[in-house]
Amino acid sequence: MGRGRVERQLCKFLFSSRPSSNVQERCLSSLWLQNSDKKNIHFSALRQHNPSHFNGMESNSIPEPTTTSDVVDAYFSHLSVVDQVQNDAKVKFDCLVDLNLKPYGGAFDRTSFFRGEITTIKCFENNPLVRETLTKESGVNRVLVIDGGGSRRCALLGGEIAKIAEGNQWEGIVVNGCIRDTNEMRWCGLKIPILAVGTSPVPSSKRDPGVKDPKFGVTFGGVNFKSGSWVYADCDGVLVTREKGPLV
């Protein structure tokens, strides 16, 4: 099958269906065609895209970013490195610098980029609130940030919870701690992006639920994550808005 025919069929599939009741449109995150062998054609997974991202930006305004680099270039290209280092008032975001988060889940795909309103949980080697939040709440336009104190002794999140979270349309998860079942996530083809310190096969305790949306937020990696602020993240880094609401 020729490349042009494949692309026409793909576009027909993507745009022939009407938008769903919750005003979500299906979009193609990326497309790759292996021209050297026309029998070998691979398409990346389709993800749900909510057009309310970026506070209703019009199509003729700044193009919607697809990487953290795009966010910086599109909104803050006029700022110098000195401005950021000196914590200049003109800078509207902070960048995670003191913590090396690794990609898991959908973030295995290095093109993965996610953003959304922050919900925070502070817990240490216990995950009842993590499970309750991800499995019982809608995650549309939301990213869960979990401060587990950086513990590597147990996992705060596993494949079962991640699968339900994806079904609840969470945009992504950032964990200052460990997760587990990463092979299961890959085998199941989970698309939800997860950034975490590392992995551990040991499950967490259930004794202490922790605290959800603490008043002063959670702080790790040199950044304060506050509920209501927005996070923009991919394999290049994590950006957090200093004020509530998305970058506009």
**How many angstroms separate the most distant Cα atoms in the chain?**
59
Does residue 222 come out as left (phi exceeding 0), alpha (psi in the -120 to 50 range) or beta?
Answer: left
CA within 13 Å, CB half, 166: 19
Residue position matching structure tokens 């199509």: 59
Q: Tell me the CA distances in angstroms from 36 to 9, 30, 39, 40, 41, one per residue in order.
A: 20, 19, 9, 8, 10
- Residues with Cβ < 8 Å from 49, sequence gap 6 or more? 24, 25, 26, 27
DSSP secondary structure code for residue 44 in this structure: P
Residue type, position 131, single letter: R
Q: Is residue 121 annotated as involved in ligand binding?
A: no
Q: Is residue 189 annotated as involved in ligand binding?
A: no
Is the distance from CB of 193 to CB of 175 less than 8 angstroms? Answer: no
Q: Is residue 118 annotated as involved in ligand binding?
A: no
Q: Is residue 117 annotated as involved in ligand binding?
A: no
Q: Is residue 181 annotated as involved in ligand binding?
A: yes
d(CA 130, CA 63): 34
Q: Is residue 125 annotated as involved in ligand binding?
A: no
Residues placed in the known binding site for substrate: 158-161, 180
Annotated binding-site positions: 158-161, 180-181
- Binding-site residues from annotation for Mg(2+): 181
